[in-house]
Amino acid sequence: MIGGTWFLGKAIAEQALAREWAVTTFNRGRSGPDVEGVRPVHGDRTVREDLDRLAAHGPWDAVIDTSSSDLAPRDVLLSTTALRGAAQRWVHISTVSVYEGWPHRQLTDASSLLVCPADADETYGYTGVDGSPTVYGFQKAGGERAVTEVFGKAAVFLRPGVILGPGEYVGRLPWWLSRAERGGRIVAPAPAGQHIQPVDVRDVAEFALDQAASSTSGGYNVTHPEGITFDGFLGECLAVTDSTGTPVWVTPEVLIEQGVKQWTELPLWRTHAGVWSVDSARAVAAGLRCRPIAETIRDTWAWLARDALAAL
């Protein structure tokens, strides 16, 4: 697998080893220690000589790519081209941002994708005045095209929305847990019953491994299919931290008027209609299983307690 030292990549490596798979990881060795039990190969995926050196360690049944989030499509194309002779399948971790309608419209696996050439550089794309589409979305769509051009029907794309769980480096769930622990009056985005779809990193990892071992192809939206509400989410954060805090539900209009930044200053809050309207039925039919959000919150709190530096 490409990556394999932190968050999703680490979870995939650990769970693959638990299945008694032989795992080779390829990364620059800068984002944390290699998982014990893997065969680590260090190098730069944008350098053809390093990729050729990696290919010599093959062949593999599948490659799982978790480290293309900051890569131009042409760099993904370089990786897939260099490794095509050493791998039978390619499982690519993508994002819901590749869709034309994100985040304004409801999405299914059949929704139209943004158009970006497979050999595009990092300058391709644009960000709309309302934040949609984004350069990131174009780049990831181009990355998918690069994989398809080389691996064809042997390519699988996982398109998660928000991933939470132990090891989360973005700080969304850790932020809410930290805020809940402090107690007092907690500003929360109304409506309290807003449905959200965060998925546990371990469930994404299991599904990625299942797809690596299958003969499926195409894209899968990987979002939580069950009805998680914001008040339920926050309630679990309060419970696990033994907090006496009280949520104060503030309307979007007031939050915007006060200059609160969506998605960052108040994690998981965004007013676009399609943010939490991503259909994951195809993934569920293919075996995606999502644990209750309470388990994700509890285990993340335990992880934070073990590693204070991970808090934020």
CA angle 23, 25, 158 (to 5 degrees): 85
Domain boundaries, the chain: 7-310
131: Cβ–Cβ under 8 A, 6 or more apart, which residues? none
CATH of 7-310, one of 1.20.140.10, 3.40.50.2300, 3.40.50.360, 3.40.50.720: 3.40.50.720
**Distance in angstroms (rounded) separating the CA atoms of residues 299 and 295:** 6
Residue with tokens 């809050």: 269
**CA dihedral angle for residue 167, residue 172, residue 178, residue 183, rounded to 10 degrees:** -150
From first to last of its 312 residues, the chain has per-residue pLDDT tens of: 999 999 999 999 999 999 999 999 999 998 889 999 999 999 999 999 999 999 999 999 999 999 998 899 999 999 999 999 999 999 999 999 999 999 999 999 999 999 999 999 999 999 998 878 999 999 999 999 999 999 999 999 999 999 999 999 899 999 999 999 999 999 999 999 999 999 999 999 999 999 999 999 999 999 999 889 999 999 999 999 999 999 999 999 999 999 999 999 999 999 999 999 999 999 999 999 999 999 999 999 999 998 854 444
Inter-CA distances, 97 with 107, 141, 216, 295, Å: 11, 8, 22, 27
Q: What is the pTM of this model?
A: 0.96
